[in-house]
């Protein structure tokens, strides 16, 4: 590969199963899997079924593309595997041969872009960034690449410019900063949206201020996770706060956000903040009993490094680390996207804090699948957030700080639950 830019394998698959050759869903899945098995990074795929027979489709990968056209009536597929870099397209070839049940096949391999015939011109990355900025103008914006956050049955996609500001596989997860025309720059972890410039305030105001105003005199706060910095930025707006300890496991998230999302990562240099890059689960276990007024768990979904943030042991440790009158707030998942994680977390919090002491708040966030998301609370002999009645000071704070989501009406409304959510929480 060293003397060529790319490798192109033109494949003939013959004697294939005609039903498979006409099944657009399974062909798309097989083509995407073929790319993944060869170590490619899949950017997007688009597939089409022709009536009455035939499928055409392309999987766009960071290493180039895989394309197919099928003739089910002949049990035949024409496949192009075009890759660059170190990816071995023969792995995709072997995989597809099995998937399609090809009895015969042939393949022609061509090296593309002979380096000795080309002249390299390196150009300034800043001019590309300038171009990317122009692409956010919808009239000039023509690229069709999408980031999708999904489970097996449901998804949310945002179009992005194709510009990748940060892409690091940390020891914990893939950390990326991409840019979308609608929501600005966004932080993604593995294949999930975490936050975007344009709607981050929904999440960060709502994870912070209802708990802060319910407590009323919080001085010592622990934030677990929250590597983008939005939560500590909001908490530090409360002047009575004396110290915020933030424990984020993944330093790559902090680095990415400091560089590319400075409006969110705005308070990492605040004198009241102690920023620890380390394990928040261990920190909660080792914390002195009754040391925090508020603990905020700004974690990701219960896969990968955030899995332990949904365990009984972790919340028992948080309970012990809270002062009497203390409040725990946790990223609570969605009653529409991941009902199981949502209800299980509430069962855990009820178990530890008591049935009446695990209220749930709902809020709207456009960039999480379904848009309906929750924060879940654990009250350690604290008053219920709904009983807070100092609405004047909430509104004065909202006006002074220029908040865009939270206000005194929202403070109460966020704890009002639709009937189907109440039923979910009651195990019905």
Of the pair 79, 194, the CB lying nearest ligand SPD is at 194
Phi and psi at 96, nearest 5°, equal: -65, -35
Q: How far is the CB of 205 from ligand SPD (least distance, A)?
A: 11
Which residues have CB under 8 Å from 3's CB, separation 6+?
Answer: 111, 114, 115, 116
- Cβ 220 to ligand SPD shortest distance, Å: 21
The alpha carbon of 192 is separated from its chain's Cα centroid by a whole number of angstroms, namely: 2
Instruction: State which of residues 72, 75, 230, 305 lies at the interface with ligand SPD (CB under 6 A).
Output: 230
Q: Got the DSSP string for 339-350?
A: HHHHHHHHHHHH
**H/E run at residue 296:** strand 292-298
Q: Is 300 in the site for ligand SPD (CB under 6 A)?
A: yes
CA distances from 197 to 36, 240, 407 (A): 30, 27, 20
Which of 183/203 has CB closer to ligand SPD? Answer: 203
Candidates 203, 260, 319, 377: give the one binding ligand SPD (CB under 6 A): 203
On whether the CB atoms of residues 213 and 411 are closer than 8 A, the answer is: yes
Q: Which is nearer to ligand SPD, 350 or 370 (CB)?
A: 370
Q: Regarding beta strands 104-114 and 76-84, do their DSSP bridges make them parallel or antiparallel, or are they unpaired?
A: unpaired
The reply to whether 199 sits near ligand SPD by the rule CB under 6 A is: no
Peptide bond before 16: cis, by omega within 30 degrees of 0?
A: no
Least distance to ligand SPD, CB of residue 235, Å: 12
Alpha-carbon torsion 415, 420, 424, 428, what sign? positive
Query: Is the Cβ–Cβ distance between 27 and 35 less than 8 Å?
Result: no
Q: How far is the CB of 323 from ligand SPD (least distance, A)?
A: 24
Nearer to ligand SPD, 163 or 248 (CB): 248
| CA distance linking residue 261 with residue 268, whole number of Å | 12
Considering the complex, state which of residue 160 and residue 203 has its C-beta at the smaller distance from ligand SPD. Answer: 203
Is residue 194 a contact residue for ligand SPD (CB under 6 A)? yes
301 is catalytic: no
Contacts with 120 (C-beta within 8 Å, 6 or more apart), sequence order: none
Tell the smallest beta-carbon distance from residue 145 to ligand SPD (Å): 21
Question: For ligand SPD, which residue of 180, 195, 245, 374 counts as binding (CB under 6 A)?
Answer: 195
Print the binding letters for residues 321-340 with ligand SPD: x by CB under 6 A, - otherwise.
Answer: ----------x---------
- Size of interface with ligand SPD, in residues (CB under 6 A): 13
Please report how close the Cβ of residue 86 comes to ligand SPD at its closest, in angstroms.
32
**In terms of CB distance, is 314 or 368 closer to ligand SPD?**
368
- Of the pair 92, 331, the CB lying nearest ligand SPD is at 331
Helix (H, G, I), strand (E, B) or coil at 120: coil
In the bound complex, what is the minimum distance in angstroms from residue 305's beta carbon to ligand SPD?
A: 12
Element holding 210 (H helix, E strand): helix 200-215
Distance CA 214, CA 379 (A): 10
**Which of 92, 173, 196, 231 touches ligand SPD by CB under 6 A?**
231
Minimum distance of ligand SPD from residue 123's CB (angstroms):
35
- The Cα–Cα gap between 20 and 54 comes to 10
Return the axis-axis angle of helices 200-215 and 391-401, rounded to nearest 10°. 140
Cβ–Cβ under 8 Å, residues 200 and 265: no
**Which one of the listed residues 149, 199, 293, 298 is annotated catalytic?**
298
- Selected range binding ligand SPD among 22-30, 101-109, 224-232, 345-353, rule: CB under 6 A: 224-232
Contact string (CB under 6 A) for ligand SPD, positions 68-97, x = contact: ------------------------------
Among 72, 226, 280, 385, binds ligand SPD (CB under 6 A): 226
| DSSP codes of every residue in 345-382 | HHHHHHHHH-GGG--EEEEE-TTSTTSEEEEEEEESSP
**Cβ contacts of 192 within 8 Å, gap of 6 or more:** 149, 300, 301
Residue list 352-381, contact with ligand SPD (CB under 6 A) = 368
Catalytic residue numbers read 298
Q: Where on the chain is the footprint of ligand SPD (CB under 6 A)?
A: 192, 194-195, 203, 226, 228, 230-231, 298, 300-301, 331, 368
């Amino acid at each position: 590969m060293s003397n060529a830019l790319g490798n192109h394998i033109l494949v003939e698959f013959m004697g294939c199963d005609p039903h498979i050759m006409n099944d657009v869903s399974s062909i798309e899945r097989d083509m995407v899997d073929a790319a993944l098995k060869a170590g490619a990074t899949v950017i997007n795929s688009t597939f089409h079924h022709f009536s009455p027979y035939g499928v055409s489709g392309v999987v766009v990968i960071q290493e180039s593309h895989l394309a197919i056209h099928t003739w089910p009536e002949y049990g035949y597929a024409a496949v192009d595997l075009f890759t660059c870099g170190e990816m071995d397209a023969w792995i995709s070839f072997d995989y597809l041969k099995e998937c399609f049940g090809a009895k015969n096949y042939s393949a022609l391999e061509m090296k593309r872009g002979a380096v000795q015939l080309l002249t390299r011109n390196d150009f300034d990355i800043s001019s590309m960034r300038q171009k990317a900025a122009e692409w956010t103008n919808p009239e000039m914006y023509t690229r069709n690449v999408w980031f999708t956050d999904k489970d097996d049955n449901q998804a949310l996609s945002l179009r992005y410019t194709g510009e990748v500001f940060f892409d690091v596989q940390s020891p914990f997860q893939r950390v990326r900063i991409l840019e979308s025309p609608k929501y600005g720059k966004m932080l993604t972890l593995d294949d999930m949206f975490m936050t975007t410039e344009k709607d981050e305030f929904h999440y960060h105001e709502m994870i912070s201020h209802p708990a802060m105003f319910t407590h009323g005199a919080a001085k010592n706060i622990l934030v677990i996770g929250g590597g983008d910095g939005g939560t500590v930025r909001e908490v530090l707006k409360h002047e009575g706060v004396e110290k915020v300890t933030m424990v984020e496991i993944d330093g790559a998230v902090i680095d990415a956000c400091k560089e590319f999302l400075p409006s969110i990562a705005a308070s990492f240099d605040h004198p009241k903040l102690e920023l620890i890059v380390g394990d928040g689960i261990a920190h909660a276990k080792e914390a002195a009993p009754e040391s925090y007024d508020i603990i905020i768990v700004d974690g990701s979904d219960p896969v990968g490094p955030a899995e332990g943030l949904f365990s009984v042991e972790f919340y028992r440790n948080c309970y012990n680390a809270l002062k009497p009158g203390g409040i725990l707030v946790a990223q609570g998942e969605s009653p529409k996207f991941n009902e199981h994680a949502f209800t299980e977390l509430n069962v855990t919090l009820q178990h530890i804090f008591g049935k009446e002491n695990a209220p749930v708040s709902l809020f709207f966030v456009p960039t999480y699948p379904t848009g309906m998301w929750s924060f879940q609370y654990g009250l350690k002999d604290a008053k219920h957030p709904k009983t807070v009645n100092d609405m004047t000071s909430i509104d004065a704070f909202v006006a002074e700080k220029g908040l865009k989501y939270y206000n005194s009406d929202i403070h109460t409304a966020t704890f009002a639950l639709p009937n189907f959510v109440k039923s979910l929480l009651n195990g019905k």
